[in-house]
């Protein structure tokens, strides 16, 4: 009996060591390949001049990503979207799908919107060593067979005006990421869409849900899920302005709103929103990064 027990213990230990080894090997592979990709990312985000106009969701450029979770395949993408005024812009992001047969009817798309990472172009999740790290529930979604489209938002990745907490351009980029996933070959992405976002991304997902039927009528919205959405911005910034979270949000949001609405309101009107101290600090905020 003792011999049998020892045998089972040894088998269990061996299985645990194998699993740990596989996890460690996967982590090392992703770090090594991710670091190598990160060193060569920059040219991918340089846009053609001039940028040819195209329909929202049209692919500008794509490339495979090597540092993917086992059992998946992914691409870094640049695609067309629309800004606050409806002008054509370029947005970056990633698309990741299970590496297996496409089911009948295609894969449902989950368009993921990430939480705050910063307001500078270099803060884009797709530029990170692990471009999938912020996709909450990634492994569960892949195991369930979903295609995942993860936008960076306008102004992250590709140089451009910040869209921080601007619901229209953020939601456009989220819906157009789903269109880009469908435009890529080998994704098997269908017209069925789920929206999923956290914090800043929760706001983007709510705007996208509200606007999907008008902006992207070819997509069939089947559900939306959000976590801690940035919904009541006045309360969010007022209540938290005394701590690091609130000042960080304000440092990203105020310059973005100032630039977005400068054509609609005079400088005096915009300055009147801020206290004298905040107005003096605004230039410093513009340099805030990730």
pLDDT tens string 50-87: 999 999 999 999 999 999 999 999 999 999 999 999 99
Q: Is 268 helix (H, G, I), strand (E, B) or coil?
A: helix
Question: Which of 199, 227, 255 is a domain's end point?
Answer: 227
Domain match, 197 and 254 both: no
Q: Considering the entire predicted model, what is its pTM?
A: 0.84
Question: Which of 227, 244, 275 is a domain's end point?
Answer: 227
Check residue 34 and give its pLDDT.
Answer: 47
Check residue 281 and give its pLDDT.
Answer: 59
Question: What dihedral do alpha carbons 252, 255, 256, 257 form, nearest 10°?
Answer: 120
Domain count, the chain: 2
Domain match, 223 and 237 both: no
Strand partners, 78: 61, 92
How far, in Å, CA of 115 to CA of 204, rounded?
A: 10
Q: Is 79 helix (H, G, I), strand (E, B) or coil?
A: strand
Average pLDDT, the chain: 86
DSSP state of 101: P
- The answer to whether residue 27 sits within a structural domain is no
Check residue 36 and give its pLDDT.
Answer: 47
DSSP state of 119: S
Domain match, 186 and 260 both: no
- The answer to whether residue 32 sits within a structural domain is no
Q: Is 235 helix (H, G, I), strand (E, B) or coil?
A: helix
Q: Is 145 helix (H, G, I), strand (E, B) or coil?
A: coil
Q: Please give the sequence-ordered ranges of beta strands (E in DSSP) within 28-128, or none if there are none.
A: 59-65, 72-82, 88-98, 107-113
Check residue 262 and give its pLDDT.
Answer: 84
Nearest to 62 by CA among 20, 12, 29, 96: 96
Strand partners, 77: 62, 93
How far, in Å, CA of 32 to CA of 26, rounded?
A: 10
What backbone phi and psi angles, to 5 degrees, belong to 223? 175, 160
- Whether 158 and 78 have beta carbons less than 8 Å apart is answered as yes
Check residue 19 and give its pLDDT.
Answer: 46
How far, in Å, CA of 205 to CA of 225, rounded?
A: 8
- The answer to whether residue 29 sits within a structural domain is no
Domain match, 237 and 221 both: no
Residue 244 lies in domain? 233-285
Domain match, 79 and 160 both: yes
- The answer to whether residue 173 sits within a structural domain is yes
Q: Which residues of the chain are under the pLDDT cut of 70?
A: 1-40, 240-241, 244, 273-275, 277-289
């Amino acid at each position: 009996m003792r011999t049998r027990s020892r045998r089972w213990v040894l088998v269990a230990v061996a299985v645990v060591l194998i699993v740990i080894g596989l996890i460690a090997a996967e982590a090392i592979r992703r770090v090594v390949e991710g670091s190598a990709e990160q060193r060569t990312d920059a040219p991918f985000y340089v846009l053609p001049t001039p940028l040819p106009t195209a329909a929202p969701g049209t692919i500008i450029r794509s490339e495979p990503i090597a540092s993917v979770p086992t059992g998946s395949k992914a691409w870094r993408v640049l695609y067309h979207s629309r800004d606050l005024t409806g002008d054509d812009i370029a947005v970056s992001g990633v698309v990741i799908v299970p590496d297996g047969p496409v089911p009948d009817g295609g894969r449902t798309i989950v368009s993921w919107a990430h939480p705050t990472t910063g307001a500078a172009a270099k803060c884009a999740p797709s530029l990170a060593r692990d471009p999938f790290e912020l996709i909450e529930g990634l492994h569960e979604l892949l195991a369930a067979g979903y295609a995942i489209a993860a936008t960076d938002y306008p102004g992250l990745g590709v140089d451009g005006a910040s869209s921080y907490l601007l619901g229209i351009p953020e939601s456009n980029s989220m819906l157009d990421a789903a269109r880009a996933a469908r435009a890529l070959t080998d994704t098997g992405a269908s017209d069925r869409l789920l929206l999923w976002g956290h914090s800043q991304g929760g706001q983007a997902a709510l705007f996208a849900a509200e606007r999907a039927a008008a902006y992207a009528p070819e997509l069939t919205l089947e559900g939306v899920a959000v976590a801690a959405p940035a919904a009541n911005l006045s309360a969010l910034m007022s209540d938290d302005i005394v701590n690091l979270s609130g000042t960080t949000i304000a440092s990203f949001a105020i310059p973005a709103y100032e630039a977005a609405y400068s054509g609609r309101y005079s400088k005096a009107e915009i300055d009147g929103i801020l206290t004298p101290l905040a107005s003096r600090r605004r230039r410093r905020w513009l340099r805030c990064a990730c």
